Amino acid sequence: MAVISGKEYIRRIDRLNSNIWIEGRQISGPISKHAAFSGAVKSQALLYDLQKCSEHESLLIHKDCHGRSFGTSFIIPKTRKDLEKKREMVQLWARHTGGLMGRSPDYMNTVLAAFRSSIHLLEGEENCFPENIVKLYDRAIEKDLSFTHTFINPQCNRGSLAFMDEDPPNARTVDRTEDGIIVSGAKLLATQGGMTDEIIVYSPPGLMDKDQAFAFSLPADTKGLTFACRKPFSGTGERFDSPLSSRFEEMDSLVIFDRVLVPWERIFYYDNNKIADHFFKQSHFASFALHQVVSRQIVKTEFILGVAQLIVDTINISEYEHVQLKITEIICGLECVRALLGRSESEAEKDERGVLVPAAGPLYVAVSMFQKSCARFTEIIQILGASGMICLPDKAQFDSPIGEDLNRYLRGFNINGRDRVELFSLASDLCMSHFGSRQTLYERFFFGDPVRLSQSIYRSYDSSIHKELVKKFL
């Protein structure tokens, strides 16, 4: 089974019966039927269905040098053609979600491919099991597994001396047995927690406590594993009133480990601070993951631009200079990120094992720009829509006896009231609802703290050639 259909994905997730708590109750029954998850599950199922569509088969299914066929999202690129295929695959899926599902399966599949291509960093190191990554990768491409992940520690104490806390909430190894390690504590922020086959758990770089230095994968329904969900942002569930949140709301959860047994065959490494720090800094994680992220963010920007331009057309404001400047601002942001992605691919280099790795520098710049510009694009839509973003009757109003009046008085330029409100409801859902605000925050911190990311770009950027140019002038 190289790739699965949407129906197979839903059947598999429903069968897991993971321990998920939301709004004070434990979910019982199929997760695909629960109001907080059903929209995202259905949207994700449609992505899997595309793999079964003959029209997209050549793009969404990949055959490696061993003759294995599997989803392109798992690809470890060896050629420029591989890298381009991966980007086109990511963007095809993203166009079916408006780029609004940041944790669609291709993200974690890309992360797993990055791990698999970097196992040499674990070979011969203490408490490391690179063969387990190989086995997981092989199993994932064979069964088309879906993953979520968690690595952030709870925000209990972010001070520089937090490591001295006597009872930190962070997930940690509390025992080591003949069957595996025992983990207790908690981690944030498992997006799509409970609606994937497995969860990959790892620790952020820079740890001081070896008990927290680990990486492993577990089935989502593992005993002792609990997903404690935030309140849902799925809106009314009605497509007209909540056109985006009803379909693409990805639940986020706190992951609680209550003496969870992690079998040895599931562990990538443990009790090794050096590896926990170096594996993410020296592996292909950043290059692979950022290539997927930026590819999706381009599509999201295209979607935002489309919404903004439709608002302009619908209320006929294109003649105003400030409107043109705002739309151009989005266009410039889009084209800059496209150029950076293209440069990353053109400067990709092969490592000593023949893996083609996209250049990380342009990707770091692209994602850093998007952390800031995404919030600005949201603001532009709010400014363009103005009062039209507020006065939005729901579908029931249009279906009521006053519906014809609403159609008349809320009409736009060559568009009736119902259609105008439908567009503006989408715009409102994108940038003013709980779902929309979460989208902005999500992109702002997608690849870490913006300040630290900027510092990383500053420290890694080679400015020597620019300094030499100025010295010659002097």
DSSP-assigned letters across all residues of 106-147 = HHHHHHHHHHHTTGGGTTT-TTB-HHHHHHHHHHHHHHT--E
Q: What mean pLDDT do residues 384-389 have?
A: 95
Q: Flag whether pLDDT at 429 surpasses 70.
A: yes
- Residue 432 CB contacts under 8 Å (≥ 6 apart), including other chains: 382, 389
Q: What is the pLDDT of residue 160?
A: 52
- Number of helices followed by number of strands (H, E) in the chain: 17, 14
Q: Flag whether pLDDT at 232 surpasses 80.
A: yes
pLDDT tens figures, 247-283 = 999 999 999 999 999 999 999 999 999 999 999 889 9
Q: Flag whether pLDDT at 168 surpasses 80.
A: no
Q: What mean pLDDT do residues 190-199 have?
A: 96
Query: What's the CA gap between 263 and 412, in Å, rounded?
Result: 61
In this chain, the answer to whether the domains covering 6-279 and 284-473 adopt an identical fold is: no
In three-state secondary structure terms, 200 is strand
Q: 369, 295 in Cβ contact below 8 A?
A: no
Nearest to 119 by CA among 329, 269, 316: 269
Domain boundaries, the chain: 6-279, 284-473
CATH of domain 6-279: 2.40.110.10
Predicted TM-score (pTM) of this structure: 0.95
Q: State the average pLDDT for the chain.
A: 94
Picking from 203-217, 265-279, 404-418, which range would have the lowest pLDDT averaged per residue?
A: 203-217
The pLDDT confidence band at residue 375, using thresholds 50, 70 and 90, is: very high
Query: What's the CA gap between 372 and 361, in Å, rounded?
Result: 18
Q: Flag whether pLDDT at 85 surpasses 90.
A: yes
Neighbours of 421 (CB within 10 A): 27
Query: What's the CA gap between 152 and 450, in Å, rounded?
Result: 16
Nearest to 172 by CA among 131, 207, 213, 208: 213
Q: Flag whether pLDDT at 201 surpasses 70.
A: yes
Question: Right CATH number for 284-473 from 3.40.50.720, 3.40.190.10, 3.40.50.12780, 1.20.140.10?
Answer: 1.20.140.10
